[in-house]
Amino acid sequence: MGNDIRKECLFCRIADGEIPSTIVWEDEDLVAFKDINPVAPTHILIIPRKHLAGLNDMTEEDIPVIGKISYVASLLAKQLGIADDGWRLVSNCGKNSGQEVPHLHYHLIGGKFLGPFSDR
């Protein structure tokens, strides 16, 4: 991915260590860090290091890393003590979802009763 996007994208810059964050997981494919404005006692963002604007940009080659996000979410849920009571993993994609940051990310949320997933 071109360096231009990596320099301008907030979450690329967090993944590259240029903007500080509270990192809770890091490997060659993924970074997970605390959301700066949490909606629940536990609110972690899990991102691929590779810049994708959102799931609309996913291709077949991204299947392993996207699959790994679910696995790492399950490990973090256990590590952070929310696995037994339950949690949610969600990725907003595009305008109707309210996506604000155009670098693919999954919200791992828990630590309280989360209520309905969406308004009906």
CB of 91 to ligand AMP, least distance (A): 7
Q: Which is nearer to Zn ion, 51 or 107 (CB)?
A: 51
Give the x-and-dash track for 41-70 against ligand AMP (CB under 6 A). Answer: ----x-------------------------
Task: Determine the 3-state secondary structure of 90 from DSSP.
Answer: strand
Q: State which of positions 83-112 bind ligand AMP (CB under 6 A).
A: 92, 98-101
Contact 86, 110 (CB under 8 A): yes
Judged by beta carbon distances under 5 to 8 A according to partner kind, the member of ligand AMP, Zn ion, none in contact with residue 52 is none
Q: Which is nearer to Zn ion, 7 or 78 (CB)?
A: 7
| CB contact set of 32 (below 8 Å; sequence gap of 6+) | 23, 24, 25, 26, 44, 45, 46, 47, 72, 76, 108
Q: Which residues are catalytic?
A: 105
